[in-house]
Structure 1
Amino acid sequence: MQSENYSILLIEDDLSLGQTLLDLFKSERYNVKWCKSGHEAMHYLENSVVDAIVCDLMMPGMSGEEFFLRIRKISKYDKIPFIVITANAAYDTKIRQLENGVNGYLTKPFKFQELVLKVKNIIDHSIRLTKTNDKLSPHINEKFLKKNFFKSLHAILEKNINSTIEIDEIAKELFVSKSTVFKRIKAAKDCSTSQYIREFKIRYAIRLIEEGETNVQFLADSLGFNSLSYFSICFKKYTKVSPKKYIKSISNNP
């Protein structure tokens, strides 16, 4: 692997360590962008593509964990290899990051050679995996794209669960056209996009009810319905019973 062909996003608020790591990766002939906060890194990624991210965990404003979870909800960034570096040696913290899905975890102080090798190996593996996926049959690739599309769509809808989100905004966050959104939902679910969004909200309401919520007005307001009556109509159309009857049935079946 020729490292000069690959780019690293380094996120580190410690100026001394950041400069050291910047110089280190440049000496290994990587293209490196050093950001000093999660917000700066998010702004950089809007118009840039990187092959790996090395990120401090404990930073003011936006922690490394928050940054990781945020970019993993965006399909454009959800496969970028991600390595956490941190002074937090707590075992529970390390396990939580690994459960979140980070690809590597190093506790400060660490040997610089170890970090360099982790980055090299993780990019190398990612490149090989990409090449393998490119060789998959079109049918398999299409199945993957559909699964990834709905996973990302659900994350967007849940993030905007208490408001009305426009199709333009959904398409922008998914990095596809509006017509692609319409076509994929119609092909996979045989319904309109607006119906799919309404039913997603109703399923979310059902989940809240099953977790103990009994206030129908609160449900309607929390899910962005413009009136209680409209929420009740949509709920009954989906479940065949009114919200109050559904809540009662749940209460009678602990």
Structure 2
Amino acid sequence: MIYNKIKVLLIEDDIALGSLMLELLTLNDFNVDWYKNGKTALAGIDKTKPDVIVSDYMMPEMNGEEFFLMIRKNSIYQSIPFIMVTANMEEGIKYRQLKNGVNDFIVKPFQVKELAYKIINVCNLKLSIEKKINPDPFSKVTIKLSEKNFIVSLNAILAVNLKEEIDIDELSKKLFLSRSTLDKKIRLRTNKNISRYIREFKLDYAIKLVDLGERNIQFIADESGFNSFSYFSTSFKIYKGISPTQYIKTIASKVNI
């Protein structure tokens, strides 16, 4: 287990079941904040700062799907793993949740051990992705660059600002270079202009997400800093020669061999 103590935001309107889940998850060394419905959870999520969200699907006032779609509008909560709990879900509803980006399901009745493993797995996957893809900008890079560390330093800054619209003039300032010098250095080392280098850096990030197990294309596009899904898909196909969907199927088939 990678996490020391996972913080769980639990949403369950059934008092008996919610009390049992709270007790058993706490006994299994999880830190749990329990909310009785989606509205109160929405009000308390800033305070909770959860590592993972476990939510019932059928609830009054705001159901699990409505809560999920609401929090995903905020970039702060877009990467929090989300597990949906349901007693009986029609296939159409289930597929809609997967399309929305829900990470996993657990069907009532269930053993708490099953839920615990699912929580640990989605959290460990997220943490592994963060550790492997987001370098510590101060681990290898100093602000004043030596020639040999230029690409390392450039990549570190791009990684830290990946989900933001990267301003090339601001990037130049952080590297203590003029825009024209930055462009020349990138062209000399990579045969790419600045815009292409940044775009392909983001695409490499997207590919790493898929290789590490992520399968939701919209989530991958958002995490890689693409504001337009169609632009992401087009750029991916030009870069890899196949669409994101085809690439995911290729990787999934290799995993299942």
Instruction: Label 1:17 to 1:5 Cα distance change in 2 as closer, same or farther (>3 A).
Output: same
Match of 1:63 in 2: 63
Counterpart Cα distance in 1 of 2:90 and 2:112: 21
1:197-249 deviation digits (Å, cap 9, x = unpaired): xxxxxxxxxxxxxxxxxxxxxxxxxxxxxxxxxxxxxxxxxxxxxxxxxxxxx
Match of 1:168 in 2: none
Match of 2:112 in 1: 112
Match of 2:14 in 1: 14
User: What's the TM-score, normalizing by structure 2?
Assistant: 0.54
Find out whether 1:146 has 2:177 as its counterpart: no
Instruction: Label 1:131 to 1:87 Cα distance change in 2 as closer, same or farther (>3 A).
Output: same
User: Secondary structure of the equivalent of 1:95?
Assistant: helix
The one-letter code of the counterpart of 2:103 is N
User: Secondary structure of the equivalent of 1:32?
Assistant: strand
Instruction: Label 1:147 to 1:16 Cα distance change in 2 as closer, same or farther (>3 A).
Output: farther
Match of 1:26 in 2: 26
User: Secondary structure of the equivalent of 1:5?
Assistant: coil
- Using the TM superposition, give the Cα deviation of residue 46 of structure 1 relative to its aligned residue in structure 2, in angstroms: 2.5
Aligned partners of 1:3 and 1:30 also within 8 Å: no
Counterpart Cα distance in 2 of 1:112 and 1:16: 14
Counterpart Cα distance in 1 of 2:165 and 2:9: 28
Match of 1:100 in 2: 100
The one-letter code of the counterpart of 1:44 is G
Find out whether 1:132 has 2:150 as its counterpart: no
User: Secondary structure of the equivalent of 2:96?
Assistant: helix
Q: Which has more radius of gyration?
A: 1
User: What's the TM-score, normalizing by structure 1?
Assistant: 0.55
Unaligned runs of 5+ in 2: 137-154, 167-257
- Using the TM superposition, give the Cα deviation of residue 144 of structure 1 relative to its aligned residue in structure 2, in angstroms: 2.0
User: Secondary structure of the equivalent of 1:106?
Assistant: strand
Aligned partners of 2:9 and 2:48 also within 8 Å: no
Match of 1:232 in 2: none
Match of 1:207 in 2: none
Counterpart Cα distance in 2 of 1:127 and 1:103: 14
1:40-84 deviation digits (Å, cap 9, x = unpaired): 111111333110000000100001000000100101111100000
Aligned partners of 1:52 and 1:119 also within 8 Å: yes
Q: CA RMSD in A?
A: 1.9
User: Secondary structure of the equivalent of 1:115?
Assistant: helix
Counterpart Cα distance in 2 of 1:60 and 1:12: 10
Counterpart Cα distance in 2 of 1:2 and 1:141: 22
- Paired residues in the alignment total 148
Instruction: Label 1:91 to 1:129 Cα distance change in 2 as closer, same or farther (>3 A).
Output: same
The one-letter code of the counterpart of 1:138 is A
Counterpart Cα distance in 2 of 1:12 and 1:4: 25
Aligned partners of 1:9 and 1:50 also within 8 Å: yes
Aligned partners of 1:10 and 1:32 also within 8 Å: yes
- Using the TM superposition, give the Cα deviation of residue 19 of structure 1 relative to its aligned residue in structure 2, in angstroms: 0.8
The one-letter code of the counterpart of 1:127 is L
Match of 1:226 in 2: none
Counterpart Cα distance in 2 of 1:62 and 1:145: 29
The one-letter code of the counterpart of 2:56 is D
1:89-125 deviation digits (Å, cap 9, x = unpaired): 3111111111110000122122322111100111111
Aligned partners of 2:13 and 2:37 also within 8 Å: yes
Aligned partners of 2:37 and 2:61 also within 8 Å: yes
The one-letter code of the counterpart of 2:27 is S
- Using the TM superposition, give the Cα deviation of residue 88 of structure 1 relative to its aligned residue in structure 2, in angstroms: 2.5
Higher mean displacement: 89-98 or 129-138: 129-138
Match of 1:247 in 2: none
User: Secondary structure of the equivalent of 2:75?
Assistant: coil
User: Secondary structure of the equivalent of 1:9?
Assistant: strand
Unaligned runs of 5+ in 1: 149-254
